Structure formats: C-alpha cells, structure tokens
Amino acid sequence: MNPQLPTPTPSFEISDVVMADGSAAASLVSLHAGGLVASVLPYGAALVSFEAPDRAGHLANCVVTLADPGDLADPALNPHLGGIVGPYANRIAGAAFDLDGVHVRLEANEGPNTLHSGSATWDRRRWDIASMSADATSAQLSLTLIDADGSGGFPGRVEVTATYVLHEDGTLTLNVEYTCDRPTVVAPTSHTYWNLGAAGTVAGQRLTLRADTVLELGAGQIPTGAALPVAGSAWDLRDDVRLRDRLGLDALADTGGYDHTYLVGGACGSDLSVVAMLVDPASGRSLEMRTNQPAVHLYTGNHLGGQPGPLGPIPQHGGVCLEAGQVPNGPNLTAIDGPDGPIPVDVTIRPGETRRWVTSWRLGFEASPAQVPPG
C-alpha cells in the first residue's frame, strides 16, 4: 500500500540561495503537490530536490545534489547535477560539424571533443523565472533562457522555455521548447542523478530500460554509427536488473559502469512512452520515466566521488542518470546503422520551427518493473 500522506492544495514557495560564484542570490522555487515536493534552482534550471516518502511515509530527496545549492555554481563541485544541458547534450566528435556547407568549430573540453556543449552549457547559466502558478491539480514553474549566436561556437540565437509541472499523482513533467533564428543543432537533456534510497550508492536498486539496441562506442566514447542488439550482453537491461550485478563486469571496466546510449524508439513531438523503471527495494520507492525522445543515455555516476552532499561525501555510483535526448555526435551523423536498417538522425532546427523535449518522472511505492505498461 502507498503511504497515506496529507495532500494539501498544490502550491509553490520561494527561498533565496546565495551562489558560490558571488553573483546575486538565486530564487529556489519549491513546487508542492500530492504530498511531494520538487525544488528547482534557476541556475542551470536544475532540479535539486524531488522529495517523496518511502513505504513508511518518511520523506527524502531522491535527487542527488550538493549540500549547499549555491555550490552548483562551482564547476569543480558540480558534475551537471540536475541541470538542463544544452544546446547539445553528450559528445560531439572533434568539436566540430558541418551545417549547410559551413564548417562549425566548437569549444573542445574533453580532449579533442566537445562534451555537454562546453563551458557555455545551459546548466551552467542562470535562467530567468517567467512564471509560477498553482491550481487544483498541479503546481508549475516556467524559466527562460536566450542562448546568443556563437555561444560555445554554436550558430544561431536560440530561445528556450523550460516548464516544470508537479502533478498530484506524483508525476513531475519537464517540457523544454526551443526556437532559433539561424539553422543550428539543438538536443538538450535533463542531467538529473536519481537515487531512490536517498543515500549511499544505487548498486542495490533495480533498473528496467526498454531498449533493444545500444550504440557501439569507439575512441573517446564517440559512437561508431552502429547500433548493436543488447540481447545476451551486459547492456541488456530489459528485465529488472539489479545494478550491483552489472557494475563490476569486465565489459564495463573501460567506463567504470554504464555510460552508454540506448535507442528507445521515441520521436520528438510524439506521445510520451514509458522507457524506464527504477526501483529501490529497501525503501519501496519506484520511478517510472516517460519521454518523447529517441534515445536515453544511461550513466551510473562512475566519476562521482567526494562532492559534498547533504549527508556527507557523494560516493561513486551515488546516482544514476537517465538522460533522454538525441544520439551523441548527432551533428556528424545522418543515420545510425541499426540491426534492421538505417535509423535517421535529425538534430538540425531551422527558423520557424518550434521543437519540444518532454520527459516525465512518476514517483511511486513498492512497484515492480513487471508492472511497466506497454509503450
């Protein structure tokens, strides 16, 4: 049975956070609905807390963050915790791509490649609060960001609106809409680290990821352009896998755990499909994730370790990211070579278009991955 919690009318509240970079205080906005609390910091449009009860009714934060939210402004302490990464999440080979006959050079920040759009990434920028509201069924927050032409090397002025909505049924939805004034490439993600146990590592948690194929990696973790079947491999997570049973496998030794992109079959603008379920048997909490995106990058916090968390240093594998989005190195690909033929890749947006990245996370209790409904 689910814990019986008071469910007051949805609401929001604001508190100030002093930022470590010496900039003006930021407004932390907490959304309340259905007995849950989701808190968002305009710095990075970062989800810094999603509090939910365990089977005994004890509230705890299921999102990995720093002890002081203001420290998120320190890149040395913040490995993209909870923020919206953009304009292009994950890696771009050679920190360059060609678009409409023009060779575009980007900031290289991981060897010769670009990772998470370089130092100008959206999750290291302060967003503006556009609106806050609450009604009988939900509370919501909208934030806006303008990415200038040439920021990080990316062409075009991109206007972005991110809206978090917390519903009474325990679902948090994030809708990111974006437009541009010049052809460019845009593929954002939410880089939230989940830990349903609210402490320690995620090794004892169980993951179901509905994906039949995973991208093959080459040098520098850049995809080769091929998608491989997961059946019978360490990458097969389709049936309730305890992470502890996989993280130490030799097949994952090069990356220290999962740091791989799965194709989940969504398409921008389509209805949300269930792609993943995370369950913590110890607390009884479960997380169901839906998205309209074609890929999910699974990252098991392999490089976490020592950051100051609310309960002490965050350990390696202290959180798991399920980064919905497009494929890494998409600007340099026209298609993925899949087992059943080519899978088109389209990450270019042009003036007059509005694109939507949508993902929802529903926190529940004592659910089983077998209950994941058909997509």
Asked whether residue 4 is assigned to any structural domain, the reply reads: no
- State residue 372's pLDDT score: 41
| Domain span holding position 140 | 11-371
- State residue 267's pLDDT score: 55
Main-chain dihedrals φ then ψ at residue 87, nearest 5 degrees:
-70, -20
Domain count, the chain: 1
- State residue 260's pLDDT score: 97
List, run by run, the mean pLDDT of 10-residue segments along the chain (375 residues): 63 95 92 96 98 93 97 96 98 98 97 97 97 97 98 98 97 98 98 97 98 96 96 96 96 96 75 93 96 97 96 97 98 95 96 97 69 39
Rounded-to-integer distance, Cα 121 and Cα 115, Å: 9
- State residue 365's pLDDT score: 78
Asked whether residue 1 is assigned to any structural domain, the reply reads: no
Asked whether residue 43 is assigned to any structural domain, the reply reads: yes
Asked whether residue 3 is assigned to any structural domain, the reply reads: no
User: At 245, which helix (H) or strand (E)?
Assistant: helix 244-247
Give the three-class secondary structure for 250: helix
- State residue 8's pLDDT score: 80
Asked whether residue 5 is assigned to any structural domain, the reply reads: no
Domain CATH for 23: 2.70.98.10
Q: Which residue carries 């799965």 as its tokens?
A: 262
- State residue 4's pLDDT score: 53
Q: Residues 48, 191: contact at Cβ < 8 Å?
A: no
Asked whether residue 58 is assigned to any structural domain, the reply reads: yes
- State residue 313's pLDDT score: 97
Omega prior to 87 cis, within 30 of 0: yes
Question: Please, what's the b/e burial string for 237-261 (b: 16 or more CB within 10 A of its CB; e: otherwise)?
Answer: bbeebebeebbeeeebeeeebbbbb
- State residue 125's pLDDT score: 96
The one-letter code for the residue type at 302 is: N
Count of residues in the chain: 375
Asked whether residue 21 is assigned to any structural domain, the reply reads: yes
Asked whether residue 2 is assigned to any structural domain, the reply reads: no
- State residue 86's pLDDT score: 98
- State residue 368's pLDDT score: 43
- State residue 301's pLDDT score: 98
- Predicted model pTM: 0.94
CA nearest to 64, candidates 254, 167, 232, 201: 201
Q: What is the DSSP track for 81-150?
A: -S-EE-SB-SEEGGGEEEETTEEEE----BTTBEETTGGG-GGGSBPEEEEEEE-SSEEEEEEEEEE-TT
- State residue 6's pLDDT score: 56
- State residue 7's pLDDT score: 64
- State residue 229's pLDDT score: 97
List CB contacts of 340: < 8 A, sequence separation 6 or more: none
